[in-house]
Structure 1
Amino acid sequence: MKTPFVTKDQLEAIAARYPTPFHIYDERGIRENARRLKAAFAWNPGYREYFAVKATPTPAILKLLKEEGCGCDCSSEAELLMAEKCGVTGEGIMFSSNNTPAGEFQLAHRLGAVINLDDITLVDYLAEAIGTIPEKICCRYNPGGVFTLGETREGFQVMDNPGDAKYGMTRAQIAEAFTRLSEMGAKEFGIHAFLASNTLSNDYYPALARILFQLAVDLKKETGVHITFINLSGGIGIPYRPEQPENDIAAIGEGVRRAYEEILVPAGMDDVALYTELGRFMLAPYGHLVTRAIHEKHIYKEYIGVDACACNLMRPAMYGAYHHITVCGKENAPCDHKYDVAGGLCENNDKFAVDRMLPKIDMGDLLVIHDTGAHGHAMGYNYNGKLRSAELLLKEDGSVELIRRAETIEDYFATLVW
């Protein structure tokens, strides 16, 4: 059972001011989660979370996280500029991109960001783009093959396919890149890698850490460079389904600490700082897409039509992803009706739920679609001329703040040349 962080009465009052659909975020939940993460890695003096801006590129959220000590993981010009406008500059920015235009490297360098190179060809490309090599630099590693993590405490296997991913360098390439970057003036080096997405396992981060810690020890021996940080990137997941267990971030931090003391400390590398780049874990559970039932249809299946669509939340249409749905005011009613919950796009995959057992839905009911705080509004688009919705922040004092207004028809037409 997933419980919304807002009540039916609160939502009806909010919807009277800000028409549905809208995304709403929970300030208290976001802050508390950021503090739990920071505490889990407090044993590492240099630890820093670089929030993945791509997950929720909203200034109010970035400023909130900055207050909690987080930096920004950026991957484009717009994300870099947004970080700067939110007061995040210098080494508060990690710039991890791929197929990067020269101008974006130039902007990242101007801002003083830590640049993470995705490919060995970018060594010379970066030097040409900015006229130098920064003293602090990072390289992204891809071990290839298939990453697996046996049976976990949750009773299932974590598996992903790094060898099929477009990101990162091979083992031989990252060693060559470190050597060349050192010869070109780099003095501090970092390693970055991402092997699996949305893992529900306390063992994933410690397993990834062991891979990267051993790589760091080996690269130091081979190249002689000073590795000062290791970026574990993202991958810590959230339970989208109510029956799934939550990750224990304290246990994850402790697992990484054990790996650090077993591998890095004996190698004389106890000055290595750890970074993370968590988007989904930081924000997803603390965002709801709120929509209203406006139509019902009875043909070969039972359909509930809502005023949101895949333009507001792409994941179900794009990935077949599950997002839990609460019918507001009917939280304790029996789930004895089977529905497809659909939006209004001219695409058959525009469905938030398929054959979902829910309480009887009446026209006008408010529906909360859970876990949309990351990769929700951020992935919005304008197909069929649909307009992107507002974003709201539920403040700790219970008030609601508009943090992004809804688009208007004038916005939609603004870039057209008639």
Structure 2
Amino acid sequence: MAEKKLPFTKDEIMRVIEEYKTPFHIYDEQAIRNNVRSLLEAFSWAPSFKEYFAVKATPNPSILEILREEGLGADCSSLPELMLAERAGMVGEEVILTSNDTPAIEFKKAREMGAIINLDDISHIDYLERHAGIPEVICFRYNPGPLREGGNSIIGNPEESKYGLTRKQLLSAFAIMREKGVKRFGLHTMVISNELDFNYFIETANMMFDLVLEIYRTLNIRIEFVNFGGGIGIPYRPEQEAVDLKSVGQGIKKAYEEKIVANDLHPLKLAMECGRMITGPYGYLVSTVLHKKEIYKNYVGLDACMANLMRPALYGAYHHITVVGKEDWPQDYIYDVTGSLCENNDKFAINRKLPLIDIGDVMVIHDAGAHGHAMGFNYNGKLRSAELLLRPDRSVKLIRRAETVEDYFATLNF
């Protein structure tokens, strides 16, 4: 089971609150570093392995710098994300652009940086050539459609997904790019999101290795690298287990030896683009109880709202909640934990068993280190909160200040 503990004591977090008013997100640097090292260790057998962190998960340059120091690259899906990676010191083929419905300016920036471009559609070949030119290395995103069963509310079923090329299109695209002078080729897919069964990732690897072999036999094109995408989930619920990274690594190693080594296609570079599992479990949304309301149900109102963490409202996602100082109290009360947005789905928890809540209590919402602050918005005039970094020496660093009313009005021509 995933034990939901806080990386700070009550005294420590209360001192932080004295300096930085709630709500805020705080990230545990040492835990993030340790987690990255575990992932890299699981693939230490591979001839070359690269984790391209999905910048969209936690787009903060201070976090990206930490990940760069640990050897990670960046998976970007927009111009600002490319620029964030660049400012964090990630350049060249440490960066991959995996966007869709892509504007020309993003292709141009990726070419300027020397980043790998991962095309999402066969029609993008002409668009890329016209606006940014054809690079030496190119990658295509594969959508297996009905060949790959599964999907969930986050990513959907592959055949209903807007992403990627069909198998037939993929073979045509590689042939076209070879004619246009491309020398180096990569293959990418992303068919899973927030998955806890490690067998899914081994299944994906087998599918991609089969495709590598088919491309070689059909087109005589040797794929240089395969990117399995991300999708490794995290145990949001206490009763869930984290993905066994060692089992993922060993399972993919077995498939590699049986399909790549056995067919003389070794060495093949391997890559992933995890975001959620890198930072998700090590970020926390800290908020203060402002109000209690007792009508047909019992409500606890926080100074945070879905502008600070959208996942529960958007997906009905579960996020564990700890009431600071009441960790050992009996959970004898049932509450809906809400924010102040003028939307009834602005709830962090529904019918959640918690200890008796008092106004002024500090609540910590777990697993908010990815797709938390990043998904913030300004609807209802809500202002995005600060981001803090808990350093290994227990000091706390402000890595993004909270928005102000002046920020909210800054873009208005009024």
Q: Give, in whole Å, the separation in 1 of the partners of 2:147 and 2:332.
A: 41
TM norm structure 1: 0.96
Q: Which residue of 1 aligns with 2:343?
A: 347
C-alpha displacement of 1:146: 6.5
The answer as to whether partners of 1:77 and 1:104 remain within 8 angstroms in 2 is yes
How do 1:46-85 residues align onto structure 2 when only pairs under 5 Å count? 46-85=48-87
How do 1:28-107 residues align onto structure 2 when only pairs under 5 Å count? 28-107=30-109
Q: Give, in whole Å, the separation in 2 of the partners of 1:147 and 1:225.
A: 24
The answer as to whether partners of 1:146 and 1:161 remain within 8 angstroms in 2 is no
Q: Give, in whole Å, the separation in 2 of the partners of 1:107 and 1:160.
A: 30
Counterpart AA for 1:7? T
Q: Which residue of 1 aligns with 2:22?
A: 20
Q: Which residue of 2 aligns with 1:185?
A: 181
Is 1:316 matched up with 2:318? no
Q: Which residue of 1 aligns with 2:408?
A: 412
C-alpha displacement of 1:45: 2.5
Counterpart AA for 1:309? C
1:157-205 alpha-carbon deviations (Å, 9 max, x no partner): xx95100110000000000000000110111111100111110111111
Counterpart AA for 1:345? L
Question: Structure 1 runs of 4+ off > 6 angstroms?
Answer: none
The answer as to whether partners of 1:340 and 1:354 remain within 8 angstroms in 2 is yes
1:270-310 alpha-carbon deviations (Å, 9 max, x no partner): 11100110000101000000000010000000000000000
Instruction: Flag the 1:348–1:160 CA change in 2: closer, same or farther, 3 A.
Output: closer
How do 1:368-387 residues align onto structure 2 when only pairs under 5 Å count? 368-387=364-383
**Match 1:301 to one of 297, 302, 310:** 297
Is 1:257 matched up with 2:253? yes
Counterpart AA for 1:61? I
Q: Which residue of 2 aligns with 1:137?
A: 138
C-alpha displacement of 1:55: 0.3
Is 1:2 matched up with 2:9? no
Counterpart AA for 2:313? A
1:70-118 alpha-carbon deviations (Å, 9 max, x no partner): 0000010000011111111100101000000111101100000000000
Is 1:114 matched up with 2:134? no
C-alpha displacement of 1:8: 1.4
Query: How many residues align structurally?
Result: 409
Instruction: Flag the 1:399–1:207 CA change in 2: closer, same or farther, 3 A.
Output: same
Look up the SS of the partner of 1:103 in the other structure: helix
Q: Give, in whole Å, the separation in 1 of the partners of 2:351 and 2:224.
A: 51
RMSD, aligned CA: 1.2
The answer as to whether partners of 2:184 and 2:223 remain within 8 angstroms in 1 is yes
List gaps (5 residues or longer) in structure 2: none
Counterpart AA for 2:338? A
C-alpha displacement of 1:10: 1.0
Q: Give, in whole Å, the separation in 1 of the partners of 2:209 and 2:150.
A: 17
**Match 1:222 to one of 218, 221, 231:** 218
Look up the SS of the partner of 1:145 in the other structure: helix
Q: Give, in whole Å, the separation in 1 of the partners of 2:147 and 2:320.
A: 30
Q: Which residue of 2 aligns with 1:153?
A: none
List gaps (5 residues or longer) in structure 1: 151-158
Look up the SS of the partner of 1:80 in the other structure: helix
